């Protein structure tokens, strides 16, 4: 069940919207920008400032600065978690840029977090490619939600995510994730034409300690030659991809680089997380 709150002077004001999901909550509001993040047990967040910075960047790319007060948003998020009775959640922050001078209206939508099943990490997932949808790849805008939801509804059974491919055949990113591939002992991920995910940034930092990182996309025609692939997002962390467009990736099982990065990512999360709620 989704709980929705308006940020008012650092507090969370309950808001009634006809929404059953985080996506519906964003679509019920005036058009704006958004970011989605995970709150870990104990009301802990990771790189919340990076998520807020991405909100601000999205507003700037639209030519409509948000004027966020980050301290107020952080305080309101903690208040919203307390009101909702949650210490672990999936959260969407949606900001509607002001019509004139002044700060954006910020809405917090949250729901209890259900992690992917361990089989997702242990066995990996199947994905398919679709033509790229974003017209402003670096801006995370709510007008992207409706078309992406339409594609998800049409997704064949057994497919976990859809990867967007540009006209040249480059694999860019998932509808709600970033995409990485291991090829010839190097890690590849698109360096432009994609949303710069917060988890993506953490993975690039961690991967650089393990193997060379190339900010370049792989081609759709290279799928059969990939050693490993995975997708990333704040909610799902790092999910192994073992099949793309019915083509097997590597051995058809999660590879050693993916497993090592998932362990490193989870360890880094615990080093960095910060409590929004008072700890017991």
- Sequential pLDDT tens for the chain (280 residues): 899 999 999 999 999 988 888 888 888 888 899 999 999 999 999 999 999 999 999 999 988 899 999 999 999 999 999 999 998 999 999 999 887 777 899 999 999 999 999 999 999 999 999 999 877 888 899 988 889 999 999 999 999 999 999 999 999 999 999 999 999 999 999 999 999 999 999 999 999 999 999 999 999 999 999 999 999 999 999 999 999 999 999 999 999 999 999 999 999 999 999 998 765 5
Distance CA 80, CA 65 (A): 25
Using the 3D structure, point to which of 112, 143, 163 is the last residue of a domain: 112
In a domain, 279, yes or no: no
CB atoms within 10 A of CB 38: 21
H or E segment to which residue 56 belongs = helix 48-61
Using the 3D structure, point to which of 112, 143, 177 is the last residue of a domain: 112
In contact, 218 and 226? CB cutoff 8 Å? yes
Q: In the structure encoding, which two tokens stand for residue 71, read together? A: 């301290």
The CATH number of residue 97's host domain is 3.30.470.10
**Residue 30 and residue 151 in one domain:** no
**Residue 197 and residue 63 in one domain:** no
In a domain, 256, yes or no: yes
Backbone angles phi, psi at 22, to 5 degrees: -65, -40
**Residue 108 and residue 125 in one domain:** no
> Minimal CA–CA distance to 21: which of 146, 141, 152, 109?
109
Number of domains in the chain: 2
In contact, 171 and 233? CB cutoff 8 Å? no
Domain assignment of residue 17, given as a range: 3-112
In sequence order, which residues have a C-beta less than 8 Å from that of residue 277 and are 6 or more positions away?
42, 43, 78, 81, 82, 87
**Residue 163 and residue 230 in one domain:** yes
**Residue 225 and residue 166 in one domain:** yes
In contact, 127 and 161? CB cutoff 8 Å? yes
Strands (E), the chain: 3-8, 11-14, 33-39, 44-45, 89-96, 105-112, 125-131, 159-165, 171-174, 177-183, 186-188, 213-214, 228-233, 237-244, 247-248, 274-275
- 205, β-bridge pairs: none
In a domain, 147, yes or no: yes
In a domain, 276, yes or no: no
The CATH number of residue 182's host domain is 3.20.10.10
**Residue 216 and residue 150 in one domain:** yes
Using the 3D structure, point to which of 85, 112, 139 is the last residue of a domain: 112
**Residue 126 and residue 104 in one domain:** no
Stated pTM of the model: 0.95
**Residue 122 and residue 252 in one domain:** yes
Distance CA 260, CA 228 (A): 12
**Residue 137 and residue 222 in one domain:** yes
**Residue 247 and residue 155 in one domain:** yes
**Residue 57 and residue 145 in one domain:** no
Burial of 146 (0-12, 13-18, 19+ CB in 10 A): exposed
Q: What is the pLDDT of residues 72-111, one digit of tens each?
A: 999 999 999 999 999 899 999 999 988 777 789 999 999 9
In a domain, 135, yes or no: yes
């Amino acid at each position: 069940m989704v709980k929705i709150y308006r940020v008012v002077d650092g507090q969370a004001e309950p808001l009634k919207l006809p929404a059953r999901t985080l996506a519906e909550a964003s679509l019920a509001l005036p058009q704006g920008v958004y970011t989605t993040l995970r709150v870990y047990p104990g009301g802990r967040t990771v790189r919340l400032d990076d998520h807020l910075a991405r909100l601000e960047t999205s507003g700037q790319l639209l030519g409509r600065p948000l004027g966020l007060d980050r301290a107020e948003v952080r305080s309101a998020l903690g208040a919203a978690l307390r009101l909702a009775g949650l210490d672990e959640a999936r959260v969407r922050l949606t900001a509607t840029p002001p019509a004139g001078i002044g700060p954006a209206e910020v809405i917090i939508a949250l729901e209890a977090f259900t992690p992917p099943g361990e089989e997702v990490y242990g066995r990996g997932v199947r994905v398919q490619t679709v033509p790229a949808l974003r017209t402003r790849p670096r801006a995370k805008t709510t007008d992207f939600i409706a078309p992406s939801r339409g594609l998800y509804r049409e997704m064949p059974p057994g497919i976990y995510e859809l990867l967007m491919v540009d006209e040249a055949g480059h694999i860019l990113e998932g509808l709600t994730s970033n995409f990485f591939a291991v090829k010839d002992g190097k890690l590849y991920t698109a360096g432009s034409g994609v949303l710069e995910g917060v988890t993506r940034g953490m993975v690039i930092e961690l991967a650089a300690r393990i193997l060379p990182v190339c900010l370049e996309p792989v081609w759709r025609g290279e799928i059969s030659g990939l050693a490993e692939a995975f997708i990333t997002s704040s909610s799902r962390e790092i999910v192994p991809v073992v099949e793309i467009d019915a083509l097997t990736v590597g051995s058809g099982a999660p590879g050693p680089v993916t497993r090592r990065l998932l362990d490193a990512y989870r360890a880094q999360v615990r080093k960095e997380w910060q409590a929004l709620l008072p700890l017991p």
